Amino acid sequence: MKDLKSILTQVGDIFATEPFLGQPEGLYQPIAYTMGLGGKRLRPTLLLAASHLFGGDMSRLRNAAIAIELFHNFTLLHDDLMDQSPLRRGQPTVYRKWNPNVAILSGDAMCALAWRYMLRYDQNRKDQALECFNETTIGVYEGQQLDMEFEQRNDVIIAEYMTMIRQKTAVLLAGALKIGALSTTAADEEIARLYDFGIHLGLAFQLQDDLLDTYGDTAVLGKQTAQDIADNKKNYLYLRALSEADAAQRDQLLALFATKPQGSEAAEKIERVLAIYNTLGLSAKTNEAIAAEFDEAARCLDAIGVPQPAKLPLMQLTEALFGRKK
Amino acid sequence: MKDLKSILTQVGDIFATEPFLGQPEGLYQPIAYTMGLGGKRLRPTLLLAASHLFGGDMSRLRNAAIAIELFHNFTLLHDDLMDQSPLRRGQPTVYRKWNPNVAILSGDAMCALAWRYMLRYDQNRKDQALECFNETTIGVYEGQQLDMEFEQRNDVIIAEYMTMIRQKTAVLLAGALKIGALSTTAADEEIARLYDFGIHLGLAFQLQDDLLDTYGDTAVLGKQTAQDIADNKKNYLYLRALSEADAAQRDQLLALFATKPQGSEAAEKIERVLAIYNTLGLSAKTNEAIAAEFDEAARCLDAIGVPQPAKLPLMQLTEALFGRKK
């Protein structure tokens, strides 16, 4: 039986040996650049761990692992253009390093490249795996659309936010797990449990992102904290604050999130928002919501009927994510 | 045996009954809008005609026909944004009617929707059909990349241009034919001949586009002619002119294609370029190049060993395209 570390090593090896280059160079360089920026490789790790969970042969899932990571990075590439984000993992985003048209077209090609790897999935239940992959991509787009629509709305409630992050973040984690599991002999009900594990893990992961953005350590994160407040991004903390604020706090929050000051005034805005968040005890409350999702995820994993040692990598991963600082 | 008209009716029925809607509406409305703009539906027609050619059951290719047309229209959607084209089939393009982010994201979703239909391909050689579909999409992106790179270069030669339009236009026509044929019992060599037919048809089609842009009838085309000259787009006529011009004409062309005047000066620029084209006899020469590709296409179709009546729709289609005025 393997542990998380050995799976991470395997994932690292996969991406260390794939150049993602081709002709014309202008199309593939931004793809290789994006893949070279690194990242946690969380989705391929989940995919391999899911195969391991049900006794599958991880080495045969190399292509699917690459496919899911290519797709994920493609969505970041297009998202960065749509959000006009200048940096990704501390480096210039593709639309800034090249230009918006390069970002659009290389992104499209990157998605097709993901499909090229995915079509090489030569395991059990290939049809189901391909369908899962495609429906996952559609889920992500629907989530991104909701995210963009929420930016224009002032009446988003927490339930809607949870639906949005489920689509935008959680279905891809759950989909990676399912694609890994479909290559094994696991029963459909067991795969469904693993999928739910992925959904709750994904929700926890995104809520944690929101929390770290507001209360994380700048030095550890490698980026400015409270960027969501500066950008008027309605994350979990903001929506939770609105739902628990009194009339005066609510008016203040709405007014602060209607402005986008620069320089020292930006810092002042962040301070004023944080003061309200602190009064409402949002750090603790968000941590509770995160813990609830992690608990739910653990329960799903618990219910899967395989020997305990096979669960070790996913349990270690859950623990590592629960304690993450960036 | 069917004729082209009955296949066109079948294609028309397919698209008349597919709404392409979903939730969130904001994501799917631009897709339904784009598909509702109509068009020749050339690629689905080729796909069904290819199945018919080899005795296949066209009614079982409904999903593949939708997939190929969705993909084609998705590329137009993203291309219009990259080219900043305000109109498509006389209507505002998606990025103008909505905004660039909507065009990016709805385009991505449209490509995934194409995959959803393509994955329902339940015919012979499904794996090959899916691979053909994906490699076709990659070919199209590579062609679009070359097209964008050519805009920045002044030394593009005709051979490079032919490679570019092969990727950008011809492989999708050839791919549609191949996907249709893969659903039948046709031998691989026969399918390869049909693929080549599609390539030459596609090259002829694109050269004709270039010719019509310069020498077409505004009233018939529904758009201004000589738009390529106004936009400094290096189409076949321009590259052919450069390759046959004397030093003085060459300098003039290069100088004219380095400016983008507005209003009456734009008309004057077009007139001056046209004068050079006319002197060089480019209308006749381009027509010859188009005829050569059509001949080549006809030879490929001829070489396919099926009863003549089965070829009727593709022969009629070739003739109709050869004589097209828009």
Task: Please write the tens of the pLDDT for every residue from A199-216.
Answer: 999 999 999 999 999 998
Residue A87, classed as helix, strand or coil, is strand
Structural domain total, chain A = 1
Contacts of A185 (CB under 8 A, 6+ apart): A54, A55, A124
Give me the phi and psi of B305, to 5 degrees please: -85, 65
How far away is chain B from the Cα of A17, in angstroms, using its nearest Cα? 22
Of A27, A78, A137, the CB nearest to B141: A27
Cα–Cα distance, B202 to A214 (Å, whole number): 55
DSSP letter, residue B60: G
- Contact list, A153 vs chain B (CB under 8 Å): none
For residue B88, list its beta bridge partners.
B91
Amino acid letter, residue A312: L
Q: Which of A20, A23, A27, A136 to mutate against chain B (most B CBs within 10 Å)?
A: A27
**Interface membership of A134 toward B (CB under 8 Å):** yes
Which sign does the torsion angle of CA B101, B102, B103, B104 carry?
positive
pLDDT digits (tens, 9 = 90+) for A52-70: 999 999 999 999 999 999 9
pLDDT at A296: 97
DSSP letter, residue B154: S
The answer to whether position A324 is within a domain reads no
Residue A92, classed as helix, strand or coil, is strand
Chain A segment 58-117 residues within 8 A of B by beta carbon are: 78, 81-82, 100-101, 104-105, 107-109, 111-113, 115-116
Evaluate whether B47 touches B65 at the Cβ level (below 8 Å).
Answer: yes
Separation in Å, CA B93 to CA A96, A182, B221, B323: 25, 41, 17, 28
Q: Which two tokens stand for residue B271?
A: 């007139």
**Interface membership of A130 toward B (CB under 8 Å):** yes
Average pLDDT of chain A, as a whole number? 94
CB pairs under 8 A between A and B: 94
Do the Cβ atoms of A108 and B78 come within 8 Å? yes
Task: Report the b/e string of B10-28 with b at 16+ CB within 10 A.
Answer: bbeebbeeeebeeebebbb
- Contact list, A23 vs chain B (CB under 8 Å): 142
Residue B20, classed as helix, strand or coil, is coil
- Contact list, A115 vs chain B (CB under 8 Å): 115, 134, 137
How far away is chain A from the Cα of B284, in angstroms, using its nearest Cα? 33
Closest-approach residue (CA) in chain A for B100: A82
Do the Cβ atoms of A101 and B113 come within 8 Å? no
Burial class (CB in 10 A: 0-12, 13-18, 19+), B107: buried
Cα–Cα distance, A105 to B135 (Å, whole number): 15
Q: Is the pTM of this model over 0.80?
A: yes
Closest-approach residue (CA) in chain B for A78: B104
- Contact list, B107 vs chain A (CB under 8 Å): 108
Do the Cβ atoms of B137 and A101 come within 8 Å? no
Q: Which two tokens stand for residue B285?
A: 């020469």
**B188-B191-B193-B196 Cα dihedral, nearest 10 degrees:** -120
Amino acid letter, residue B105: L
Q: Which of B63, B106, B115 to mutate against chain A (most A CBs within 10 Å)?
A: B115
Share of chain A above pLDDT 90, in %: 88
Cα–Cα distance, A326 to A223 (Å, whole number): 10
Of A26, A111, A134, the CB nearest to B145: A26
Residues of chain B under the 70 pLDDT cut: 218-224, 325-326
Closest-approach residue (CA) in chain B for A139: B109
Amino acid letter, residue A160: E
- Contact list, B24 vs chain A (CB under 8 Å): 142, 145-146, 149
Kind and range of the H or E run holding B91: strand B91-92
Q: Which two tokens stand for residue B27?
A: 């994501």
**Interface membership of A18 toward B (CB under 8 Å):** no
User: What is the separation, in whole angstroms, between the first and last Cα of chain B?
Assistant: 29
Evaluate whether B47 touches B64 at the Cβ level (below 8 Å).
Answer: yes
Evaluate whether B170 touches B139 at the Cβ level (below 8 Å).
Answer: no
**Interface membership of A23 toward B (CB under 8 Å):** yes
**Interface membership of A192 toward B (CB under 8 Å):** no
The answer to whether position A325 is within a domain reads no
Closest-approach residue (CA) in chain B for A145: B27
pLDDT digits (tens, 9 = 90+) for A264-308: 899 999 999 999 999 999 999 999 999 999 999 999 999 999 999
Cα–Cα distance, B167 to B136 (Å, whole number): 8
pLDDT at B123: 80
Q: Which domain holds residue B249?
A: 4-322
How far away is chain A from the Cα of B27, in angstroms, using its nearest Cα? 6
Q: How confident is the model at residue A219 (pLDDT cuts 50, 70, 90)?
A: low
pLDDT at B75: 98
- Contact list, A131 vs chain B (CB under 8 Å): 119
Residue B87, classed as helix, strand or coil, is strand
**Interface membership of A144 toward B (CB under 8 Å):** yes
Q: Which two tokens stand for residue B149?
A: 């790179």
Amino acid letter, residue B246: D
Q: Which of B108, B118, B130, B148 to mutate against chain A (most A CBs within 10 Å)?
A: B108
**Interface membership of A135 toward B (CB under 8 Å):** yes
Do the Cβ atoms of A105 and B135 come within 8 Å? no
Evaluate whether B18 touches B154 at the Cβ level (below 8 Å).
Answer: no
Alpha helices (H) in A183-262, listed in sequence order: 188-215, 218-221, 227-230, 236-244, 247-256
Of B27, B134, B149, the CB nearest to A24: B149
pLDDT at A128: 97
Residue A225 clears pLDDT 80, i.e. is over it:
no
Of A100, A119, A135, the CB nearest to B134: A119
Cα–Cα distance, A249 to A247 (Å, whole number): 6
Do the Cβ atoms of A148 and B105 come within 8 Å? yes
How far away is chain A from the Cα of B183, in angstroms, using its nearest Cα? 17
The answer to whether position A178 is within a domain reads yes
Do the Cβ atoms of B142 and A108 come within 8 Å? no
pLDDT at B285: 97
CATH number for position A181: 1.10.600.10
pLDDT digits (tens, 9 = 90+) for B89-139: 999 999 999 999 999 999 999 999 999 999 999 888 999 999 999 999 999
Residue A149 clears pLDDT 80, i.e. is over it:
yes
Q: Which two tokens stand for residue B241?
A: 């002119």
Residues in chain B: 326
Do the Cβ atoms of A115 and B116 come within 8 Å? no
How far away is chain A from the Cα of B114, in angstroms, using its nearest Cα? 10
Cα–Cα distance, A114 to A117 (Å, whole number): 5
Closest-approach residue (CA) in chain B for A76: B105
Residue A222 clears pLDDT 70, i.e. is over it:
no
pLDDT at B224: 65
Burial class (CB in 10 A: 0-12, 13-18, 19+), B34: buried
- Contact list, B119 vs chain A (CB under 8 Å): 127, 130-131, 134
How far away is chain B from the Cα of A277, in angstroms, using its nearest Cα? 31
For residue A190, list its beta bridge partners.
none
Kind and range of the H or E run holding B159: helix B158-165
Contacts of B153 (CB under 8 A, 6+ apart): none
- Between residues A218 and A51, which one has the greater pLDDT? A51
Which of B48, B219, B24, B154 has its CA nearest to residue A141?
A: B24
Evaluate whether A237 touches A224 at the Cβ level (below 8 Å).
Answer: no
**How crowded is residue B43: how many other Cβ atoms within 10 Å of its Cβ?**
26
**Interface membership of A267 toward B (CB under 8 Å):** no
